[in-house]
């Protein structure tokens, strides 16, 4: 009996090798769909919605992502209803990325789930893993925000432009800086 496939290991959050043939096929599928999305007539919203629905794990009603959009696999990214992402959203979705309802995402935001061993040998042997990212409902991520692996951002939180979110942020706060730190609560 054989052990789990690299895809199964990746989806389980275990160490895996990214250049596995099965994962490579998954990435090629995503690359093809992304290319179509990123090069199509931007006024053809019906086709664009259809392609995002095919690419992503979920694409909520009345949500909009402005191309260019980039991801590793697509099927690991889940977007709620009425969410808007401006130009240049990057979702390295090795682990699941969950984006809630009514989220506003500024340009050039990066959601980064991959992790790599610090030890030289496993890193040289191409082992990696990932931790999920969860963005709550009604969150606003300013332009250029970077969210690191394993982070959860609570409902109604605002993250200022250029912030690097290295750990969880609670609901109903404003956070800024590198690393992002809470500076106040959100006004009701």
Q: Are the beta carbons of 174 and 182 closer than 8 angstroms?
A: yes
- Rg of the chain over Cα atoms, rounded to whole angstroms, equals 17
Catalytic residue among 7, 29, 66, 116: 116
**Cβ(6)–Cβ(23) below 8 Å:** yes
Are 21 and 5 in contact, with CB atoms under 8 Å apart?
no
Q: Assess contact for 163 and 126: CB atoms under 8 A.
A: no
For 60-115, the DSSP string reads -TT-EEPSPEEES-STTEEE-TT-EE-TTEEEE-SS-EEE-TT-EE-TT-EEE-EE
Distances (CA, A) of 164 to 32, 37, 53, 117, 134: 30, 28, 29, 21, 15
Active site (annotated) includes residue 70 = no
For the annotated catalytic residues, the residue numbers are 116
């Amino acid at each position: 009996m054989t052990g789990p496939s690299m895809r199964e290991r990746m989806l389980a959050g275990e160490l895996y090798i990214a250049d596995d043939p099965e994962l490579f096929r998954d990435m090629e599928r995503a690359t093809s769909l992304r290319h179509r999305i990123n090069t199509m007539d931007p006024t053809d919203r019906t086709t664009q919605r259809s392609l995002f629905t095919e690419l992503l794990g979920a694409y909520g009603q009345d949500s909009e992502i402005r191309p260019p959009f980039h991801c590793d696999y697509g099927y690991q990214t889940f977007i709620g209803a009425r969410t808007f992402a401006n130009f240049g959203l990057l979702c390295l979705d090795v682990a699941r990325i969950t984006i809630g309802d009514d989220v506003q995402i500024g340009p050039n935001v990066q959601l980064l789930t991959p992790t790599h061993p610090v030890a030289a040998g496993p890193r040289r042997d191409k082992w990696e893993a990932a931790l999920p990212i969860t963005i709550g409902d009604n969150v606003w991520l300013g332009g250029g925000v970077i969210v690191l692996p394993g982070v959860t951002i609570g409902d109604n939180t605002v993250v200022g432009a250029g912030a690097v979110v290295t750990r969880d942020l609670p609901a109903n706060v404003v956070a800024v800086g590198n690393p992002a730190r809470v500076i106040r609560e959100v006004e009701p």
